[in-house]
Structure 1
Amino acid sequence: MSLLDGSIRRRDFLKGGAAATAAVAAMGLIGCAPNGGSEAGAKETDADGMNPHVVESDTAILGDEGSWVTVECWANCGGRCVNKAFVKDGVVLRQKTNDDQEDTLETPQQRSCPRGHSLRQHVFNANRLKYPMKRKSWQPGGGENAHGDLRGEEGWERISWEEALGYVAEELKRVYADYGPRSVVCMGTEWQVLNLLGGRVEWNSTESYGNWYLAPIQMGTTVGNGFPDALLINDRLDMLNADTIVLYGINPAWHNGGNPSYYYRLAKENGTEFVFVGPDYNVSAAMLDARWIRVRPGTDTAFLLAVAYEMLRLDESGESVVDWDFLHTYCVGFDAESMPEDAALDENFREYVLGTYDGQPKTPEWAAEICGTPIEDITWYAQKVGKQDNVTLLHSYAPSRYKGTIDLPQLFMTVACMGGHLGRPGNACGSVFNTESANGGPRLVKLGNPSKSATAPNPLERPEICKPEIWRSLDEGVYYNRGGYRKGPIDNNFLPQEEIRFDPKIIVNDFHNPLQATEDINRGIKVFKKMDMVVDVHYRYTLTSQYADILLPCTTPWEGNLDKNKGELDVATTSTMRLSRFQCSRDMILVTQPIIAPMYEAKNETWIFSELAKLLDLDPSELYPISDIQSYYDKIAGAEVIDVDGVTYKTLVTITQDDIDAWDVEGEPQEGVISLQDLLEQGMYIVPREQGDNLGYIGYKDFIDDPEANPRGSASGKMEIYCQAKADSINGIGYAQEELKPYPTYHPSTYENSFSNWEAKESGTYPFLMYQPHYLRRAHTNYDENVWTQEAFQNPVFISAEDAAAKGIETGDTVLVFNDAGKVLRQASVTNLIMPGGIAMPHGPRTYLDPETGIDFGGNENMLVDANTQDEFFPHMNGYNSCLVDFEKYDGEALSADCMREPVLWTEE
């Protein structure tokens, strides 16, 4: 029987002269032939004329003529799953996931998602950048030489690497000399070479994290592994101890590929009840049979304030849902009895909720008008999260990517503290993001030193532009620097805003896709057309590439060489493959390998920036003091695994002198628990778990056991429901029109702003709130060109049945979604699983802009999101989801399926 039974029937997506190598690799060498046809190695057709596809490549795999290799799946999808490729003679024949071990609760197989399964189509796609390219009419020198008005509209000329890097170096020298470092704007990850020239302007925003990155440490939570409120939930085995798990704005089946959904399902099978809170009932909630608590998009603050009010009311009526001992022992600022020493206001959270200060008790009746949640659901939820049960409260960052949610993180923490749900088995509160989803705690196995990176810091003072206003700033030549956001007030990274005038001339980018992934695309295109030069380092032809002048093709993590008998050693360690991302989860590390030679004329990014440095008369060793292969080795050689005592770490990998010699690296032989060769063959190392072992983790347990010996990072050392540092940091920026309170309060939501007259309930010009869920078809803008996943996930706009009926729209109809920023076409998916008043347009698809009508046929939500979504208090925050639109049934030609659209490719002229 064939490994892949059935035929592939789709149009040939390989356009623009893609090489035959890419064609056969992308199709997996599965020997597709029309019905009734035959080819070498294929069985004759059966009675129905169907080809059963027992072909030569199947025989190669079954005969073990090649090898399965663990390969990188590098996009920021939140997974870090296991993907294996079967490689024979440098050709990828198949992909699979982890099936090499028994699948048990203690050591589950690490499954990958459809994006990972289709990665061949990404690596070998027709939109791969093959050669250095120059936009046809662009010339150096700036001004009219750039012919900026033709960006995105004309073809390309193939040039040599020498020419391409020469152009870039020449223009950088000219602009730095004539205009200074503020005239060069970096939107990529690398480009530290610019720091040796005097620095660069760069953007700064909370991106995915929304308002959750305001002041997590100051409030008593944390920044774990770079993520706010992370590494604080309990480990995967402890979830079985929860009576209730709340998924707040979470859809792990789409957002966190791999095993998280499996871990939640195990808890469900163990008797745990699930609750989902959000504006739509997603596939994860359905899988877990979760009770749906409906909350309109962006109105979660009103909902949770009413929950707090109900918890107080129920407790006073004798139901005993509030854990007063917890609030007075581990928290400050809940009531007058527990105020912190640094409090500047004689106010507390309890009295605010009861309406003492503003005359408005935060009752369910008050909240329901805003959040749309039935009053009985608010009361039920308040009872459910009380102290009497073991409750695990998990959140994504999506609910805080709205205007008006500045206090949501503090409020979410407050409700958890009211129930005492920290530091005990079955009780937790924290984020489920990226590799920490459903499995919190410190690493049981971890890699060595941080991945190789350039060592030259940006010397430019106050270089950051808040990303929500990036296009406006570049367009108008003025930006407001307010400091960085990641460390916040602890290191005084927030600064009083300062107006800085500049004259942007050059935009450089690598790996990212800023034009497609940043709000207000139409204004972004305008800005790109104004530049003297735009340079894009990438492996694929993105929207950003389309509007660039010089394209520098880089390799993917699949490309390189670890066998010096086959040529020069090469492994990617920069943008597309940071070695720190080898880490898969708390229990596991991945050790991936390159499996094919670099394609076409693509180069490793280290080589690109080193060669550019030479042309700029700089020393590349100032950027990259160690080689890529040395960095790769150091990461593996420094790996450690925890011992059975749950405390001591020991060396993971046994390395011999022969191993060191094979890679020509510096190192010493060492003894570990697994040989380097075995680790590379397995591609992973998993720490087995069992109930009752010493490897479990309960978030906040040390603090709860002994708060004086294990204080939190806040000023008081406790959970700060009243947090003076939070208020001072935001108020010190000088951006907001009003003072932010130290405790969580209500701020008007985008829903209320959708009315021209809230009191009279008169709808505004754009009465629908469009939010953008992540989608299983892609990871942000990555992988979206894969035809296989395009066929599986059609990327509609989701509309409530009530709103669709009012406009005469049915599922499958083409819908025009529009506002002042732009216009987008999508097919409608009409459903009863989304609340009226909101529509959901999945995040990340490529823009296919019709220049005549201004309509985007690709469905990119950032055609509609603009700078008006920037938070009123925290200017670093992208309020992507606070986008007001209208929609109507389209009276033009029906939109075809995305998988049938001709891809946008570079063309030589």
Structure 2
Amino acid sequence: MALLEKSVGRRNFLKGTAAAAAAVAGAGLAGCAPKAKEESLSNTGADAKPHVVESDTAINEGAGKWVAAECWGNCGGRCLNKVYVVDGVVVRQKTDDFQDDTVETPQMRSCPRGHSLRQHIFGINRLKYPLKRKSWQPGGGDNSHGDKRGIDEWERISWDEALDYIAAELKRVYDNYGPRSVVNMGQEWNLLNLLGGRCQWNGTESYGNWFNAPIRIGTSVENGEYPNGMMANDRLDLQNADTIVLYGTNQGWHSAGNPAYYIRLAKEAGAEFISVGPDYNVTAAMMDAKWIRVRPGTDTVFLLAVAYEMIRLDEEKGDIVDWDFLHSYCVGFDAESMPEDAKLDENFRDYVLGAYDDTPKTPEWATRICGTPTEDITWFAGKLGKKDNVTLMHSYAPARYKGSIDLNQLMMTITCMGGHMGRPGNACGSSFNIESANGGPHLVTWGNVSLASSIPNPLEDPYICKPEIWKCILEGKYTCRGAYNGHYADPEVDNAFLMPQKEYEFDPRIIVSDFHNPLQATEDINLGIQAFRKMELVVEIDYHFTLTGQYADIILPCLSPWEGNLDKSQGDLELSTTGTLRISKKTNRDMVLALQPVVLPMYENKNETWIHTEIMKRLGLDPKEVFPISDIQAYYDKFAGATVVDDDGVTYKTLVTITQEDIDAWGVDGTPQEGVITLKEFLERGIYTMPRRPDDNLTHIAYKEFIEDPEANPRNTASGKMEIYCQSKADQINAIGYAKEPLKPYPTYHVTTYEESFSDFEGQQKSDYPFIMYQPHYLRRAHTNFDNNTWTREAFQNPVFINSQDAQEKGIQDGDTVLIFNETGKVLRKASVLETLVPGCIALPHGSRSYIDPESGIDYGGNENMLISAYHSQDPFFPQSDCYNSCLVDFELYDGDPIPDDVDKEPVMWTEA
């Protein structure tokens, strides 16, 4: 049965069982199979054979149409996908090909994750209708049967039943126990604020320790999200660098669209690359980078020694430290440049030279901890000298360790010592998410993409530090220390978001989650399961059956980002609020994506606006308070308000031409307008890219205005300069009252995870868990998204990466099954033995689905959060900081049966009673 035959049309496709869905996905897999193997697919999919099409040309001749499609994985690539839709089924995918691929207008090509999305949307784990756990009943207490969460069967219920249950339970719990009895683990349950508020977890997650300092020391937190965002130069200026340092980055995996291409162009222009970190990754190899080996979590130690060597080399031969820069644009480097608000008569230079602790931060001091050869430290210090154009591109991974509280301030200091700011080829900024390898303000912007009103949480001090969330739920008490991402932009309030810690007792009874998969994505899954089983109700909204859904009581199926309708002739207009309206604003500075529904809504799935509206109606609340405008109006508004920068690089003009016919077609409020591209053309292309050229007015040089005129363009600090000594930063952290010792205003050494891997560091006696386990982002998935796609599961095996020396000592060879364990949990993975990983650590890719054996407790899926506890992940100074890379484990050759490849395992499915 061919994909183009009516037998696999939309109606029959949606009637299919999970196995039938797998059969359709299997058909898509076999597009290049030999003709001799052509077979028809059975109705059940049990005997599915490869399906053959003679050529893509035969499919494309008028049978369907190409539609621009969203990739919502939040990896940062924000690439263009296009899908070929035939009778409501996506049968082919491709990427950006509408324009010539040039340096000025590069095609925004998607990675393997984006290319395999149709397997995800039409896969067998799609939720089709509301589900209730069989044993769960309303009313709380024993009715919940919490002990059966995760192992119970499911029963199909109607939307009315599901929504009635949820509304009634919310009313019962709020009336009897108050707002601290409800814990929100998503971002979209604003309706709870109309009921009196909710407890809300709060943690830095991706940013680790990189979030707090930038708003105090003189860098930035762009849009309240990205520390050091826009503080690297843009993609064209990378070609002006003599040296580019990839510090803890791997653009080829974490932002796998164009960023690696941008830095490759810099390589072709003559830039020398240096990769700093615990592994020599694919991006470093692609750039032929020199590898500076640094043990995981010891970067502060390494950079203190680099600073020492820059000072020493400058004294010996000169032209290393840019003293004019330090004294003109910075405060606190030495005694000559102290800020007026300094409370401590100490400075960074004298600390590095050992004046305050009798410990000069020499390479010999550092190498014992960070493992970097002394000659590499000296060489690297020389490469950062002021004579060369140096660009440092960092990710946040090095800040996801305990002991990294000063890392962001220290990296800024190292950059300032070489004067590498404010001029072409010189920069220091994040290479993360949409800012990866292309810093600067957006040249193309969306209009207002907000759908829901921002209703303040009326509950006093509702924030629970995320690393300790499960422990707090089980103990019935939490300590609020403020929100790490609160009023970040208010320079008038010294403690604008953090607060002195205050303890609360609470009685959590309901957990609600929204498209976040918190059980799989949060530290200590075993403890999380206990917390879930304690609840009286767990509600999960998602379009896929996740680990969180497995342990929920009621699952509400939402639309995937590919589903909706913009054509009145096909029914009511509808959009996915899971993706299209939530994250479509996140694109890099050169372009925006005109994302739209690909197929009509499937099964009984509803969008989240509808779900929350129906709950509010049952509770007697006014949905207009949360959703003052319709989804389609919000969708229109982002097009109508979109702008593009003019040739002067300063003023912005209207991007989209909109006619009255366009407005009438969507039934929205609006006024016709003239722009540079019509709405129809924009939707057909799926993308608008701002053309660039080397001599245009659009090149972004971070800090350029500040360097040219620091008095007219001061930094947002107490001194108006870059604060190597920052009293505000220290005061803010110390005011929490959490740390056992006060934080200094300038960067200093703190005990590292590597040292904690010893029971006696001085005596070099290893502990029971002597290996540091860090979690790189992996090309198979984006966080926990897309991990079930067959193609990428086959291409990327998700092993545990082990240094060859460590593997040899334990008798482990490549491909062996390895048991990784500590006091928190156990996981199994196949070994990938490498020379390109420093000894004493292992790398377990982030985000895989847990498959927990109920008898042994072993996770056969290899999820890193089975091994990470709050002890591992909570920073000793900044408790909202997720330092989950500070996980200590041991591993050994597994003495049981080898585990199969992930692609050969049956996925965990919801099973109806």
The bucket for the TM-score relative to the shorter chain is over 0.9
- Which of 718, 725, 729 is matched with 1:726 structurally? 729
Please tell me whether residue 823 in structure 1 is matched to residue 821 in structure 2: no
Cα shift readout 1:217-250 (whole Å, capped 9, x = no counterpart): 1100001132111111111111000000000000
SS in 2 for 1:325: helix
Letter in 1 for 2:549: S
SS at match of 2:166: helix
Deviation at 1:88, TM superposition (A): 2.4
Which one of the candidate residues 496, 508, 512 is aligned to 2:516?
A: 512
Deviation of the 1:19 alpha carbon: 6.8
Alignment pair present for 1:546 and 2:539: no
1:89 shift after superposition: 2.5
User: Does residue 1:673 correspond to 2:676, yes or no?
Assistant: yes
Output the CA distance in 1 between the equivalents of 2:19 and 2:893.
41
Q: Distance in 1 between matches of 2:37 and 2:220?
A: 61
Per-residue CA shift, 1:831-854, capped at 9, x if unaligned?
Answer: 100000000000000110011001
Aligned amino acid, residue 318 of structure 2:
E
**CA–CA distance in 2 between the matches of 1:262 and 1:224?**
24
The residue identity in structure 2 corresponding to 1:718 is: K
Aligned pair partner of 2:172 in 171, 174, 178: 174
Letter in 1 for 2:386: K
Q: Name the structure 1 match of 2:246.
A: 247
CA contact (8 A) 2:68 2:598 kept: no
Measure the CA separation in 1 of the matches of 2:21 and 2:896: 40
Match of 1:530 in 2: 534
User: Which residue is equivalent to 1:9?
Assistant: none
Matched letter for residue 484 of structure 1: A
* Equivalent position to 1:862, from 858, 862, 865: 865
Q: Is the 8 A contact 2:69 2:81 kept in 1?
A: yes
Q: Contact 1:330–1:704 (CA<8 Å) still a contact in 2?
A: yes
Match of 1:350 in 2: 349
Cα contact 1:30–1:55 (8 A) shared by 2: no
Q: What is the SS of the residue equivalent to 2:18?
A: coil
Shift of 1:60: 2.7
Superposition pairs of residues 681-760 of structure 1, within 5 angstroms: 681-760=684-763
Q: Within the alignment, does 1:194 sit opposite 2:192 as a pair?
A: yes
Q: What is the alpha-carbon distance in structure 2 between the residues aligned to residue 19 and residue 816 of structure 1?
A: 32
Letter in 2 for 1:385: L
The question of 1:906 aligning with 2:907 is answered no
CA contact (8 A) 1:219 1:714 kept: yes
Letter of the 2:669 partner, please give it.
E
Structure 1: runs of 5+ lacking an equivalent: 4-13, 42-49
Q: For each residue in 1:124-173, what CA deviation from the matched residue of structure 2 results, as whole angstroms up to 9, or x when unmatched?
A: 11111111010010000111000000000111010000000111011111
Structure 2 portions without partners, runs of 5+? 4-13, 42-48
Counterparts of 1:400-439 in structure 2 under 5 Å? 400-439=399-438
User: Relative to 1, partners in 2 of residues 1:94 and 1:393: Cα closer, same or farther, differing over 3 Å?
Assistant: same
User: Is the 1:451–1:580 Cα contact (8 Å) retained in structure 2?
Assistant: no
Counterpart in the other structure of 1:773:
776
User: What amino acid is the match of 2:359?
Assistant: Q
Deviation at 1:583, TM superposition (A): 4.2
1:840 counterpart = 2:839: no
Alignment of 1:455-466 (within 5 A): 455-466=454-465
CA 1:72 to 1:51, structure 2 compared with 1: closer, same or farther past 3 Å? Answer: closer
Q: What is the CA-CA distance between 1:349 and the residue it aligns to?
A: 0.2
Output one character per residue of 1:552-601: Cα deviation in whole Å (capped at 9) or x when no partner: 0000111000011111001123x433355244211100011101111111
CA–CA separation in structure 2 for the residues paired with 1:742 and 1:842: 35
Q: 2:150 aligns with which of 138, 149, 152?
A: 152
Whole-angstrom distance in 1 between the partners of 2:200 and 2:174? 15
The whole-number CA distance in structure 1 between the counterparts of 2:794 and 2:22 is: 20
Aligned match of 1:88 in 86, 89, 102? 86
The aligned runs of 1:550-565 (5 Å cut-off) are 550-565=554-569
Q: Distance in 2 between matches of 1:419 and 1:457?
A: 45
Matched with 1:306 is 305
Separation in 2 of the partners of 1:33 and 1:295?
46
The answer (yes or no) to whether the contact 1:71–1:558 under 8 Å persists in 2 is: yes
Q: Give the Cα–Cα distance (whole angstroms) in 1 for the partners of residues 40 and 877 of structure 2.
A: 66
CA contact (8 A) 1:57 1:93 kept: no
Match of 2:162 in 1: 164
**Match in the other structure for 1:371:** 370
Contact 1:15 1:126 (8 Å CA) reproduced: no
Give matches, 1:773-812, under 5 Å: 773-812=776-815
The Cα shift of 1:457 comes to 2.0
- The residue identity in structure 1 corresponding to 2:36 is G
Taking the aligned partners of 2:338 and 2:71, their CA distance within structure 1 comes to 48
Q: How far apart in 2 are the matches of 1:201 and 1:16?
A: 40
Spell out the pairing of 1:628-639 with structure 2 (5 A cutoff): 628-639=631-642
Identify the residue that residue 496 of structure 1 maps to in structure 2: 500
**Aligned-partner Cα distance in 2 for 1:15–1:396:** 45
Task: Name the amino acid aligned to 1:209.
Answer: Y
Q: Match for residue 128 of structure 1?
A: 126
Residues 30/891 of structure 1: CA separation in 2 closer, same or farther (3 Å cut): closer
Aligned mate of 2:660, from 650, 657, 660: 657
AA paired with 1:622?
E
Amino acid at match of 1:424: R
User: Is the Cα contact below 8 Å between 1:462 and 1:483 reproduced in 2?
Assistant: yes
> CA, structure 1 residues 399+40, in 2 after alignment: closer, same or farther (shift >3 Å)?
closer
**2:10 — aligned with what?**
none
Aligned residues: 888
Output the CA distance in 1 between the equivalents of 2:459 and 2:635.
31
Helix, strand or coil at the partner of 2:28: coil
CA contact (8 A) 2:31 2:51 kept: no
1:647, distance to aligned residue in structure 2 (A)? 1.2
In structure 2, C-alpha distance between the alignment counterparts of 1:134 and 1:59, rounded to whole Å:
44
Cα 1:332–1:903 change in 2 (3 A) is same
Summarize the alignment of residues 261-280 of structure 1 with structure 2, pairs less than 5 Å apart.
261-280=260-279
Give the AA of the match of 1:78: G
Question: For 1:105, which of 103, 106, 125 is the aligned residue?
Answer: 103
CA contact (8 A) 1:29 1:93 kept: no
Deviation of the 1:36 alpha carbon:
2.8
Give 2:735's aligned amino acid: G
TM (norm. structure 1) is 0.96
Give the whole-Å Cα distance in 1 for the aligned partners of 2:27 and 2:136.
36
Judge conservation of contact 1:473–1:479 (CA < 8 Å) in 2: yes
Among 67, 70, 89, the alignment partner of 2:68 is 70
The answer to whether the Cα contact below 8 Å between 2:584 and 2:595 also exists between their aligned partners in 1 is no
Change (3 A) 1:321 1:777: same
Cα distance in 1, alignment partners of residues 770 and 531 from structure 2:
29
Residue pair 1:582, 1:592 contacting (<8 A) in 2 also = no
The answer to whether the Cα contact below 8 Å between 1:246 and 1:391 also exists between their aligned partners in 2 is yes
TM-score of the superposition, structure 2-length normalised?
0.95
1:6 counterpart residue number: none
Please say which of residues 813-822 and 453-462 is displaced more in the overlay: 453-462
